[in-house]
Amino acid sequence: MHPFHRLRPARPSLRWKIAALAAATACLVAVAVGVLVHVWTAQDVRQQAEAQAFNSVYSAMDVYRRTGTLADGAELDPADLPAALRHPADGDRHTAYDERVEGNLGPSVWAAQRTGGPGSRVLAVRVNMSPQLHTLRQLDMSMAVASLVALAAAVPLAAYGAGLLARRLQRVSETAGRISAGDLDARTGPTKGRDEVADIAATVDLMADSLGRRLRTERQFTADVAHELRTPVGGLLAAVDLLPPGETEDLLRARVRDLRGLVEDLLEISRLDAGAEQPVRAHVPLGAVVSEAVVRTGLDTEVTVTVAGTRGAEAAGSVETVETDPRRLERIVSNLVVNAHRHGDTPVQVTVEGRTVVVRDHGPGFPADLLLHGPRRFHTGAAERGSGHGLGLTIALGQARLLGAELRLDNAPDGGAVATLRLPV
């Protein structure tokens, strides 16, 4: 993980979002189809019942007129005949829907016709729709069961398909994350399919190629400039030594030494970028190495060594021994201490506990941009942090990576910058 990465809140994965969308879509389709089938079937059942009643009253009227008797199911002026059919205005056949439920009789369709002229009796036939409605309810139940089965099959299939897509996107995301963390050799490579995901993966790889070329060009330029400046700066330092003692000589000597330090820093960064540096490891007492590095800075810094509950001089004989490159460890600690004095405020405190070294000042703290993105060369952050070329923290971070250590930058709750170096076991 990038040392300055901030955790994001957990979010539902794309796989389950797509699965939920597929489930919702399947539910909507099932409901829509079920409603349409129910409505169309109910209309068809009613139309068939009306046609049956219409034909039945026609046959019953023919029998009544020929024989004077009533056919099965036919009635004259039945008491429960709907009001719309009690007094038809003409002699034609008419139908009406009766939604009343009486005993074993459910909703029905009536058909009626006068037996003669105005004032004559009304012959009616009733068609019970209970069997058809029972069939309709069975159809609804079958549709519901089929919808649930389809939903149960659609969701796993959608989750599986979404998982394939999510895994491809995850590969692209991991590659982008590695590039963001500084691994410019990370590539997604060819992906299955010829779709938008494949286009995104190819675009990320092209971006990494372009970014790598530009960064290598910039690093090579920095290395070339530093190398070319090294000789003339050395000549300047030798020339300054020939000047007569005085204020001018002291001022020139200080500026030339600053310039030489900048050139040496640039060369060191160039070697770190090129991977040309290799640590020379040895077993060393951590507290002693840190204390010596602080003393060499010549800055007033409080050093506290804590081992197994003891502090200061009591811990000197039992300090933690680590396997590391002492020269690079001193470089890291000295850069952190110098940065704390230059950009922070006193007191500057260095604490050694176990395999952890903490450097803290009591100034304005690290800028938010530095905490978010990490140190950047030739960028010192906020104005209140003071001036400088911004290479100290960059070198410290590079050397820490070379040692396999973790360097974390943060701000203390009560103010001040805190740099924490954790050496690997």
Per-residue pLDDT of the chain (425 residues; tens, 9 = 90+): 444 444 444 455 677 777 788 888 888 888 888 899 989 988 998 899 899 998 998 999 889 888 888 888 888 988 888 888 887 777 788 888 888 877 677 788 889 988 877 778 889 999 888 888 888 889 889 888 888 888 888 888 888 887 787 788 888 888 888 877 777 777 887 766 677 778 888 888 888 888 878 777 766 776 666 666 666 767 776 776 777 776 777 777 777 776 766 667 666 666 666 666 677 788 888 888 888 889 888 888 888 888 654 454 444 444 578 888 888 888 888 888 888 888 888 888 899 888 889 999 888 888 877 777 666 655 555 454 444 446 777 778 887 887 888 888 888 888 888 888 988 87
Q: Name the residue among 86, 67, 84, 66 with its Cα closest to residue 76.
A: 86
Q: What angle do CA 93, 94, 98 make, to 5 degrees?
A: 145
Distance, in Å, from the CA atom of 244 to the CA atom of 241, rounded to the nearest integer, reads 8
- The DSSP letter of residue 314 is G
DSSP track, 292-341: HHHHHHTS--EEEEEETTEEGGGGGGGPPEEEE-HHHHHHHHHHHHHHHH
For residue 377, the model assigns a pLDDT of 59
* Beta-bridge mates of residue 113: 123
Q: How far apart are CA 357 and CA 421, in angstroms?
A: 5
pLDDT value of residue 400: 82
Cβ–Cβ under 8 Å, residues 114 and 121: yes
Q: How far apart are CA 66 and CA 114, in angstroms?
A: 15
CA–CA separation, 107 and 119 (whole Å): 28
Asked whether the beta carbons of 41 and 139 are under 8 A apart, the reply is yes
Structure tokens given for 340: 């704390």
Which one, of 240, 223, 345, 199, lies nearest residue 276 by Cα?
223
Q: Among residues 122, 121, 131, which one has the least CA distance to residue 52?
A: 131
What gap in Å lies between CA 39 and CA 401, rounded to an integer?
71
Give the per-residue pLDDT at 390.
60
CB 201 within 8 A of CB 172: yes
Amino acid type, 277: E
Q: What angle separates helix 14-67 from helix 130-180, to the nearest 10 degrees?
A: 170
Residue 178: count of CB within 10 angstroms of its CB: 17
Beta bridge partners of 75: 124
